[in-house]
Amino acid sequence: MIKTDVVIIGAGPTGLFCAHQLGIIGLKCEIVDNLDKIGGQCIELYPDKPIYDIPAVPKCTGEELTNNLIEQIKPFNFNFHLSDRVQELKNENNKWLVKTLNGKEFETFNIVIAGGVGSFEPRKFPTKSAEKYDGKSVLYSIKDKNIFKDKSVVIFGGGDSALDWAIELSNSSKVTLVHRRDEFRGAPASVQKIKELSDNKTIDLITKYSIKDDGFW
Ligand SMILES: Cc1cc2nc3c(=O)[nH]c(=O)nc-3n(C[C@H](O)[C@H](O)[C@H](O)COP(=O)(O)OP(=O)(O)OC[C@H]3O[C@@H](n4cnc5c(N)ncnc54)[C@H](O)[C@@H]3O)c2cc1C
């Protein structure tokens, strides 16, 4: 049984910065994450993508943000429990008992749930024929953007991830962006930028199309 002031569930940016704030007021934290590494979505899904909306940091990648957050909490020497998932929370006599999938147990007065979108899995293409390219030429996250340099890349989606990557990769690849609607869910500035890139023919924009086994429909 590990006794601590706070158990933080999730080692994404929220969990890491919480740990910093808790360390500053003198509390001891144990941090549990289902992933095998620290950093949440930033490190797992877009280590190489630039981020532009961190206060006082004009530009950094997902990996740089993670490394800076790790550096910031180093003085506190908090323990990380990676590749383990919190499965059970129980309140007994004003204390929390936290159990993980791998059988670890924590006794704590406080829990921070910083689980983000949860233990995330990509929403994969529904088409059967895409399966055999999974992890080869069909990718659901980008670890190293250099693999697309001077290549043709087709990006499916209309949210922030799709728009951010379309904008970024258009600097060094031939990008086609395909979305099933003609409206986008991304940040207005990104939507505007995509329209500009499409108008000046830097990217190909194909809307109201989706993927099926033998092509777009
Ligand atoms: C492709 C992409 C690009 C993005 N670009 C930007 C951007 O430019 N700017 C921006 O501000 N935001 C961006 N975002 C969003 C940003 O990454 C998220 O808002 C941010 O990661 C949320 O941080 P978080 O710590 O709350 O959650 P997450 O990063 O989701 O981390 C939560 C962590 O909790 C863990 N977890 C969940 N449940 C459990 C459990 N039961 N037990 C153990 N561990 C658990 C998960 O494994 C995960 O590591 C982007 C997202 C994506 C996908």
| pLDDT of 216 | 60
pLDDT at 196 over 80: yes
Residue ranges around ligand 1 (CB below 6 Å): 9-15, 32-35, 40-42, 45-46, 49, 51, 53, 85-86, 114-119, 160-161, 164
| Residue 83 backbone class (left: φ over 0; alpha: ψ -120 to 50; beta: rest) | left
Q: With pLDDT > 70 as the criterion, what percentage of the chain qualifies? A: 98
Distance CA 126, CA 35 (A): 25
Q: In which residue are the tokens 């693999």 written?
A: 147
Question: Which atom of ligand 1 is found nearest the CA of 32?
Answer: 43
Q: Name which residue leads in pLDDT, 123 or 136.
A: 136
Closest residue to atom 3 of ligand 1, CA basis: 161
pLDDT at 16 over 80: yes
Overall fold of domain 128-210: FAD/NAD(P)-binding domain (3.50.50)
pLDDT at 158 over 70: yes
Average pLDDT of span 165-180: 96
Contact 24, 75 (CB under 8 A): no
Domain ranges of the chain: 2-113, 128-210
pLDDT at 151 over 90: yes
Show the tokens assigned to 28.
């001891």
**Least confident interval from 36-40, 101-105, 129-133, 173-177:** 129-133
Mutational test site, ligand 1, from 9, 29, 30, 41, max ligand atoms within 8 Å of CB: 41
pLDDT digits (tens, 9 = 90+) for 77-115: 999 999 999 999 999 888 999 999 999 999 999 999 999
| pLDDT of 143 | 76
pLDDT digits (tens, 9 = 90+) for 125-149: 888 888 888 888 999 878 788 999 9
Distance CA 176, CA 116 (A): 30
Two domains, one topology: 2-113 and 128-210: yes
Closest residue to atom 35 of ligand 1, CA basis: 10
Output the average pLDDT for the chain.
Answer: 92
The band of 62, judged by pLDDT with boundaries at 50, 70 and 90, is very high
| pLDDT of 186 | 87
Q: How far is CA 129 from its chain centroid?
A: 26
User: At 56, which amino acid appears?
Assistant: A
C-alpha of residue 13 to centroid of ligand 1, in Å? 7
Q: With pLDDT > 90 as the criterion, what percentage of the chain qualifies? A: 76
C-alpha of residue 15 to centroid of ligand 1, in Å? 10
pLDDT at 74 over 80: yes
Overall fold of domain 2-113: FAD/NAD(P)-binding domain (3.50.50)
pLDDT at 25 over 90: yes
